[in-house]
Structure formats: C-alpha cells, structure tokens
A and B are shown apart, each in its own frame.
Chain A
C-alpha cells in the first residue's frame, strides 16, 4: 500500500465546483507538497539576501541555499554542479541553447533536426535561429503508432545535421523516445543533442551521462517545485565555448568601458539576481521525489495509465491517440466524438475533474495528426484510481449534457 500522498498536498483535498478535486493536468503543472511550500517560506522568512554579493552572514546563507540547490540538481541527473544553469523554465533553457549555441555554430546549409511532436518551446526557437542563420529546419515525423519514424531518423540525420533537438516524452502523446539511441546516432554524424526533459525528468530517472545528452532542459514547476525555476544542463566543454545569453550583473569578471570578460560557469549564464526562493523549493521537491522513489512513481503512473486506457476503450464514443504503444507514460490524449474538447473540459470541470483541452502548445503535431484540438488527462504519482473513475464517470455525462444521443 502506497503512502496517502494527499496528506502532503492540501490543495488536492480541496473542492472544485462543489466536488472533490481530481487534478489531471499534471503535464501542465504539478501541485506542490507542504514541504516545498515550507522551504520557500523558510528561505524568504529566514535566509533572504542577494546571493554571491554580500559579505555578511545572511548573503552567505542565501548563497548556500542557491548553490546547495545546484548540487542537488546535479546529483539528481548525474551531472557536475558547474554544468547546471538555473533559468526560469524549460522554455528559457531551450532558448538559451538555441540563441547561444545555435546562433554561434549554425551556418547556411547546416540542418537542425527536430520532431513533429515537439512542444512549441523546442520548435519556435529553432525556427527563429534557422531564419537568422540560413540553416534548414527538418522534421522527424511519426509512424502509425505515434512513435518516431525510424525511416525519417535514418534518412534525415546526416552529416549536414548540426543539432538534433528532441523531447524525451511527448507532452501530447506521452510516448517515451529512446533518446540514448538517438543521441548515439546523432553523435556519429557529429550533431549536438538537445533533450527537452520537461515531461521526462519529473516522471522517470534521467541520467545525462547514460543518455549522453549534450543539453537537457526541464522546468521545476512540473516536478513539485514553484513556478519560475528551471534548469539547463550542458556539457562543460560546450558551455565553456558558448557566448553569454543574457548579460548584466553577476555574469561578469571585468567590465571596461568598451569590453567585458565573463564569469566562469555557471555564473556566465546567470545574469541578474536569480530565483533563490525557487531554488530552495526545487531542493525540497527533489528531496520529496527521492523520498517517494522513481520506482514507485513509475509503477503508480503506469497503473493509472493502463487502467484509464482500458476504461476509455470501453466507451465507443471516445477516440484515443497514441494509446496502443507500450512506451507510454502518464499522458492520455482523447476526444469525445462530436463534442469539442473545450466543451468536454467545461463539463468535466463542473464535476471537479481538471483536464486540459486545446492544442497543448503543439500545433504542428495537431496538424500532422489531422486534429484541431484534443482533451488531455495527465497523471502524477499522487493521483489515484478514484481520480480515473471520476474522469470516466464525468466523460460518460458529456454527450447527454450536449444533447447528442
């Protein structure tokens, strides 16, 4: 029997529209346990000062909180602390790589390879960088089961490919990409590998040495932390050679009237006062996740996913997308026939069930799948089978509320 996680998440015991909340929008953001909320209050209540700057004790304390978070994150993904850059979220992390690494290293004739299943945050920056450098942006499309087309990987990953940017888990289909194999293939042709870990790092163990990613981006808020703290991991050799992304305070060594030398890693990429309270929250979140353990997290999410798919398949008026592949975790995308996803989400909301409806920041994927928008239910370890039952019960009401018989 698993621990009753609800005791640690007061918000999950609250009501929505007069019903107990079934929070099934974890791919968008997760809820925060009390320990994370306490750590943020603890930082601002007892340790707040500008880190790295003051010589007084409080500033030293703030620096310790911040640098301790960096060590915690490094250990969590098996990297070195200098290779951990704090950002505000995965989007900023991916922009940092695109603008700092991409703009410096890409030239006309070079190719950037991404997948059609990317979130806009791992797509639009590459589009812009391609436009600015004259590089070409190519796509790996999907096979019938929703997984990446093996043919596309073989034919599109060539000597011209300088960057392969790929999500480890699709935020729409929930399918896990074998980024380790992809990275090995990309490295064979000399490409640098950028992994979007926004949906993977919270749910499965990610070891950057093992997958051999050159860059890994993820957000704190999708893994129990506050919003506004994110991470970019980069191999030291690459980060060292990259120019700064944002510039200003704290990222410098010497500033002259007309020139500046920059601080060492990781400060080179952390201009201005950073989100230390967020870093404190991220530390507490990692401690909490470690306490639960990825084995438990994966087991619970697999059980919920399998159970939900089986139940949804019994409803003849529900269309499921990417639900027949085995490499799936935590995310179920579906439609109720003849009902727009926003109407479905409103009807579920009235019964206390929170899901996402829309294009999920993946318009090119929607277009590829021939869909306008979909409903998405996404789980975290604190969800229960009762939440899934509530989802199913609410979906069973949808067509009658819409007067479709």
Chain B
C-alpha cells in the first residue's frame, strides 16, 4: 500500500484540441461525435487534412511573445495556464523553484527550420537573413521552456522526445520526479505543432500512410477496412500533477490518480510496431498498478488508422484483454486526428470525464470493421453507457518502437 506521499494525482487540466479548447468542450465533442478535422493548406504540398486548434493564443501571451516563440510554445503556455487556473492553486504562493515542467513531444524544430528556409529562399538563399530567433525556437526544450518564461517557473523543465508515445511519457516523468522529491508540483503532458510543417505530411504520404477522404470528418478511420492513413493534428493536453498528500492538504479537486505506467522498446523496426512488445508494456503497467485486465473499464487505444499499426495494437489488446468481457476499447484519434506529442495526453484526458458521467466515447468512422482488428468490446460510432467507470488504460506508441502505457483510476 502506497503512502499519500507516493500516490500521484491529477488536479488541474488544460486542453487545446481540434474539437475543444477546454475539457468540457472536448468531452462534449467526443460524446456528440464532433470531429476537429478540416481541410488545411500546407506550403509546397497544397491541400491536406489536419486537426487544427482554435484557442486564443493571446489569453496568456503578448503578441510579441507569440511572434518570438513557437506554436508549440503557445499551445504549451495556453494549456499550462489553463491547468493551473483549473487546479485552484494559489499561484502567487506556489514556490516556483519546486515546480517542474515535463512535456512530451514527437518532434520539434521542423516547423521553424522550414519557415527559415522558405524565408531565405526569397533572398536567393542568403544565410545572412537567417533569423537570430532560429536557435531559441528550435532547441528541443522550447515548449517547456516557454512555459517557464511565461509563468516564472524556476524549477526544472524538459521536453521529452518520445515520438507519438510522448504524451504518456510527460505524465510518467512527472510521477517519477514527484516520487523522487525533485519537485512538489509538476506541469505535465504533451504538445504538438506538427501541422505547421509540410514535412510531416509529405513523409507520411511518401510512406503511403497519409489519410485522404472527400469528407475531412470521415478521414480518420481506425480499425475500418477503408482506413488509409494518419490525419496529422496539433494540440496540447497539460495537467497539474501532485503528490496526494499535497493535494489533500490544500483541499484540491482530484480528477484521477495515476496508478500504473510502463514504457518499453520494440528493438525491431524504424516504423512498424510490434504487438508482442506492446502487450508486454500493457502487462507491465497492469502489474505495477496491481490490477488485472478485467479491472480496466476503458482502454483508450492508440490506433492511428494505418494498415499495420491498427492490426498490431488490436493483436496486443486481444492478447491482454481477450479474457475480460467487461473492458471496452475506444479511440480518440478518429475525432481529432493524430496529435502526435499531445496524442497520449489528449486521449487520456478525453476519457477521464467518464469517471463522472459513466460513458465511454466511441471510435467513430468505423463502418466496416477490419476482421484483423477485431476487438470484443469496441465502442463503435456511438458512446456507450458503462455506469461505474473506475479505471482507464491509455496506450501511446511511436516510431523507432517506443511504447508507453498509463493507467489512471477514479479517486475515491
């Protein structure tokens, strides 16, 4: 039995999703089947589909800060401030040197580098017009660093490069640092600005893994026989994370407890996932949480709507949860696309309100289930009333074979 000093809880939530700029909006969209995927113009490539966020950047930043910083930084600043505001923390009284910022990110610097190359192309590739802002914009700690600048946080900050497993990784690192006593409050989650560079889209297209559809809202189709790839999205999901003892002491609202997590590596392929290692990762997280598969109410799947990726995850989930008749599986990417570094965070947070409303949102755009992706309790197209939801398991996997699993429990 863990002590309250070792138990880690989520106490504030900030959201920038293509279909919601706070948790209530996001949840409402997920239950209503509202997509955030739209037609989107890219430089060089022309029109693609993307999940685009529409939050107010200037709520917490000056125009100058937006100009000097990055989109990832603005997303992070917005979500971090929203989380702190939601947490009820008296920010003026918080010891800023005891706050850590840990944000997962899939990639960083592509957007800013592409922009600068485009800019110098207008000057005959004269590198003398290359911006002095390039380096502070592209350092890998940029988004977490912008949060510390904006909020006056003097504790440690890191972005955690973990491909598309990064959202979970931010929370995992936060839990570890809190347990080690390195910080007393963590601002953690994941962010993505990836839609602002053509390269992400072009590379998925070259790989045959970029979704197309005449109706943008139907483009992201995990587990469907007609799925044809990924819809790239931007976004952020950031939480205040604390030790239970601290949260209790200040009478905080507690959204959930992080009861288990795991990360591992496939050690197999640059892009193709491996169901065996994914299943191992899920089992390790369950073991650490001291629960069995049948204790999990909802599995928030990672599935991105690629041919092989969906098959591998479904195989892993069947292997672990095949004996659990009560565990349901859903998918949030089908609504918003793949928010890359933010995906794991947004997908966990989109499910979290089920602790209160007892409903599992669906995976949408599933008209014809690929039999290779068959899962016994997939929540198809319409939300499902579950009643009592206590435990959610959140999968997030990424390139180079990086796997992450986070398990949260309703706080009782």
Q: Do the two shown chains form a genuine complex with each other?
A: no
